[in-house]
Amino acid sequence: MAMLNMVLKADDLSKRYEDGVLALDHLNLGVRPGEVYCLLGANGAGKTTTINLFLNFIPPTTGTCYIKGIDVTKDPLEAKKYVSFVSENVMLYGNFTARQNLEFFAKLGGKTNLAKEQYYQVMRRVSLQEKAFEQRVKTYSKGMRQKLGISIAIIKDAPAILLDEPTSGLDPKAAEEFLEILTELKSEGKAILMSTHDIFRAKEIGDRVGIMKEGRLVMERTREDLQFEDLVKIYIDYMKSEPLTA
């Protein structure tokens, strides 16, 4: 696979925690502009560790993460200018309104002097109800929080987006709406790396799908490959197979 033009790139990335657990084992992957890469895997497979490494929340044991060619460990502040992050439970300031939350994170993302209307536009884009714009976030449902989370990612307008199980716990309609927004972002050229348990959504939105097991990327398929293969069966087969390590 050509690693050139990758916005997100993991190069021989490994992570062993202080307690000796090997969470990630020589991972190599890359996400191009306008591409959605879905990481599938059971709990503890290393999906969230991969995202944590890209965000420099933890240092790698070996290997390197690159965002737009910038080594995340060496220059984390510069690298993080080009990435947005949406977590499983979008955590926001409950006593702030949606607009206030958006404004705060937009400013941290380097977007200053935006007018109120510009924040409203972004919230409209993710189909957040108008009346909720100036409502305190603590009254929000999970779906609404996810929408606000993605609007924070949109307003930062970074070329890469990291999503950590963003559809987990969403009802089907909310999940569908969420994927529609991702499709739009993809069409705008964003490189999206999404960790998920949701095989169906991964097949639906992913340009490439990787399956992780015990910290290793054990399989990778393109959208084209999956037209002729049953992703569910592949996934279950891998999960049932013998452990990789003794």
Residues in contact with other proteins, shown as a per-residue x/- string from 156 to 175 under the rule CB under 8 A: x-----x-------------
Contacts of 105 (CB under 8 A, 6+ apart): 152, 155, 156
Contact residue for other proteins among 43, 112, 227, 245 (CB under 8 A): 112
DSSP letters along 23-43, please?
Answer: EEEEEEEEE-TT-EEEEEE-T
Tell me how far, at minimum, the Cβ of 57 lies from other proteins, in Å: 5
110 versus 189: smaller Cβ distance to other proteins: 110
Site residues (CB under 8 A) for other proteins, limited to 117-156: 152, 156
Q: Beta 22-31 vs 8-16: how paired, if at all?
A: antiparallel
**What DSSP state is assigned to residue 219?**
E
Tell me how far, at minimum, the Cβ of 85 lies from other proteins, in Å: 4
* CA 95/CA 106 separation, integer angstroms: 17
Max Cα-Cα span within the chain:
58
Residues in the chain: 246
Residue where the block lists tokens 């999906």: 47
Tell me how far, at minimum, the Cβ of 203 lies from other proteins, in Å: 27
Contact residue for other proteins among 81, 142, 197, 223 (CB under 8 A): 81
9 versus 156: smaller Cβ distance to other proteins: 156
Site residues (CB under 8 A) for other proteins, limited to 35-64: 52, 55, 57-58
Tell me how far, at minimum, the Cβ of 232 lies from other proteins, in Å: 30
**What DSSP state is assigned to residue 242?**
P
Residues in contact with other proteins, counted by CB under 8 A, come to a total of 31
Contacts of 40 (CB under 8 A, 6+ apart): 47, 196, 197, 199, 202, 209, 210, 211, 212, 235
Asked if 21 is part of the footprint of other proteins (rule: CB under 8 A), the reply reads no
Give the interface with other proteins as residue ranges (CB under 8 A): 52, 55, 57-58, 77-78, 80-81, 83-85, 87, 89-96, 100, 104-105, 107-110, 112, 152, 156, 162
